[in-house]
Amino acid sequence: MAKAHLHRRYRFSASHRLHSEQMSPAENQSTYGKCNNPHGHGHNYVLEVTVSGQVDENGIVCNLVDLDECVQREIVTRFDLENLNMRPEFADSVPTTENLCTVVYDILKRGFGQAHLERVRLEETMMNAFEYDGS
């Protein structure tokens, strides 16, 4: 049996303010620039989930319905139209897209068992994308 990789894309929108209570206003402004706006700002995120596994007798790596349901339930429903600063996942960290990417990976790692979760990629803007593979 051949091993294959499946890349699947999802979309959700969320807002955040990049701000650390451990830094002064000047340090926050210097570190996060316009993303430190007190009113926050939003993104239309594109999440790419990559899973791998042996191609089974049906010719697939994993059931797309199961994958879609997992990502919808665990990620999209949780974060879509939310202020990330208000989410418990970011109670002790700044909701940067880098941190969001690791949170998404950790959530999916717990909730997805059919194929191997290789990585998640989170596109924040046309210019910024972040990946995390658990290492």
Q: Which residue has the tokens 């994958």?
A: 67
**Could you tell me the pLDDT band of residue 115, with boundaries at 50, 70 and 90?**
confident
pLDDT band of residue 1 (cuts 50, 70, 90) is low
Sequence-ordered list of residues with C-beta below 8 angstroms from that of 21, at least 6 positions apart, any chain: none
pLDDT at 114 over 80: no
pLDDT for 111: 73
Instruction: Tally Cβ neighbours within 10 Å of residue 117.
Output: 20
Which pLDDT tens digit goes with each residue over 70-108? 999 999 999 999 999 999 999 999 999 999 999 999 999
pLDDT, the chain, mean: 95
Question: Which two structure tokens, joined as six digits, stand for 110?
Answer: 């717990």
Give the SS3 label for residue 32: helix
- Cβ-count burial 56-89 (b if 16+ within 10 Å, e if not): eeeeebbeeeebeebbeebbbebbeebebbebeb
Q: What is the pLDDT of residue 44?
A: 98
Per the CB < 8 A criterion, the answer to whether 2 and 54 are in contact is yes
Q: How far apart are CA 121 and CA 48, in angstroms?
A: 5
pLDDT in tens, 46-76: 999 999 999 988 889 999 999 999 999 999 9
- Alpha-helical (H) ranges within the chain are 25-32, 64-71, 77-79, 97-111
CA R_g for the chain: 17
Angstrom distance (rounded) from CA 67 to CA 6: 10
Domains and CATH numbers, the chain: 3-13+42-132 (3.30.479.10)
How large is the angle between the packed helices 97-111 and 64-71, nearest 10 degrees?
A: 130
